[in-house]
Chains A and B, each alone.
Chain A
């Protein structure tokens, strides 16, 4: 029988970890869940965001979270440009499925190699006052390097949720995911809205990247480990649903944390797949969401 306080600690750590996974999966929930763009390269942008944070933190001493927020601007523009390219080359030609997937896979790969060539294949980390500090609540230990990402991630999720449900642009983004033609009839260009939404999706990667490098040291190829997790969270959560995605991320985080603690950390990457495959096979609508 495992020690109850160890189990409790593992569960709390899992919830915090899941909160961070939600930050990574958020961009995919927008791009893939709402816009139907299978952006496999999203985790590579997260790693790129982590490296940008590392540069800002190391050279100017900027706080990592702030650095992530600063980078959302350039990342937004990058996302808009990437969508324009994707749209002209694939979406408008109607060849989206095969070529589009291969395109994003190529982008993933190119980003990774470019990072290796420019920043080197070493592990990089950032400095901040809260990294390495823990708070004790009874028998539960809360490392701040996990708490800060959790809080920022939930904050980002709430802010985007508000933006999507309150503002005109946000509602247009929701509309484009539901009925493109109806949106056109309302006098809004779906391409423009999708470019904007994709820009936001890539901008979230900058924040997620800054959270990633707070949690652990980062090297260029680390992004691949998050593809399975993030897509599993989005599919399990029911594609476009933010709350479903958050719940799925936390379930994933808790399971990984318990398996790593009680059994063997090398199994952790396999867990996402363990969730993804049965979800696809038996409940393709996810936890909260429409059927595919």
Chain B
């Protein structure tokens, strides 16, 4: 897809989403749409580090929940408009990414992954003990009835997420085709060789970690308004971490379209399973799909399509 066509499609998607939103009167559509978009954003964010550089982040829930809780705290203090909260959430998670990255990215990728797993646990302990944002009993957030653009607040949240998701995908696509992206791909394929060829590996990995963390924090910032009640077990739900990893792996890592496909597919499958079977079973399906894809089709749906086309890229 050429650049012009990509940007035109992105813009068109935002417009179509907005128009559809104007036509739809059912609130559920916004709730479901928001959830899909949120996962597209999270999966794309994860893929910038995980897919492009091959560094597995298990701490999505930490970055995401941090964004959400920064937003709860700021909202309680000053009640600024949503875009300010999103920026603040992004900055906070980006900084945590920078800190984590600078401490652990010098080691092999496995250690970074274990550290992120532990980060999710420790940040949950911190939030549980932070009384100002509700501690273990959780925080209630009043969702305004009407959004600033007219229409309901959920509709506003939906548009905000739509813009963020499209922007994140555009960012991922730009990264993928930039010098940064090539550098990350070199790290993924052979880090020692990349380092030896003059790729500033640590700097690039840090950049990717910060970008990925920032996007996850931004994804979390509107969450308190979406759920209206936020407690640590739900904000740090393992489902976020599993889904965010499963989606790019099912869709295909290493390309911007993979996480988008994976996010759409898995959210639809889960929504269907939730209604038809049970909520525990839908998590099982995600786990099985993830393990199934990484063992049988390591390049995901994108890889399968390429193989079918006989395209050896």
Contact = CB atoms under 8 A, between A and B. Distances in A.
Q: Do A and B come from one complex?
A: yes
B22 to A, nearest CB: 39
Interface string A198-219: 0000000000000000000000
B136 A274 contact: no
Interface stretch (A93-101, A166-174, A187-195): A93-101
A235 B55 CA distance: 19
A105 B58 contact: yes
**Which size bracket describes the interface of A in this complex?**
35 or more
A166 to B, nearest CB: 30
A280 interface: yes
Nearest to A114: B284
A155 to B, nearest CB: 28
B95 interface: no
Contacts of A264: 129
**Chain A interface main SS type:** helix
A277 to B, nearest CB: 6
A99 B107 CA distance: 18
Contact of B295 (A89, A228, A269): A89
A270 B280 contact: no
Interface in B44-58: 50, 54-56, 58
Interface string A80-102: 00000100010001010111011
Interface in B207-261: 238, 242, 245-246, 249, 253
Contacts of B109: 97-98, 101
Contacts of B281: 113, 117
A227 B116 CA distance: 11
**Which size bracket describes the interface of B in this complex?**
35 or more
Contact of A270 (B55, B111, B126, B249): B126
Interface stretch (B79-87, B169-177, B285-293): B285-293
A175 interface: no
Contacts of B129: 264, 266-267
Contact of B294 (A103, A109, A114): A103
**By CB atoms of chain A within 10 A, which of B54, B108, B121, B298 has the most?**
B121
**Chain B interface main SS type:** helix
B287 A110 contact: yes
Nearest to A93: B298
Interface string A217-237: 000010011011001100100
B56 A276 contact: no
A185 interface: no
Given A101-B110, A227-B117, A277-B115, A109 B104 contact: no
B125 interface: yes
Interface in A255-292: 264, 266-270, 272-274, 276-277, 280-281, 284, 292
Contact of B121 (A110, A117, A225): A225
Contact of A232 (B108, B118, B242, B280): B118
A38 B125 contact: no
A89 B295 CA distance: 6
Contacts of B122: 228, 269-270, 273-274
B110 to A, nearest CB: 5
A29 interface: no
A166 B115 CA distance: 35
A277 B121 CA distance: 13
A99 B119 contact: no
A231 B112 CA distance: 12
A280 B103 contact: yes
B152 interface: no
A95 B111 CA distance: 17
Given A99-B298, A277-B103, A270 B287 contact: no
Nearest to B128: A266
A70 interface: no
Contact of B118 (A93, A103, A231, A284): A231
Given A102-B294, A106-B290, A114-B284, 8 more contacts: A99-B298, A102-B249, A117-B284, A228-B121, A231-B118, A266-B129, A270-B121, A276-B118
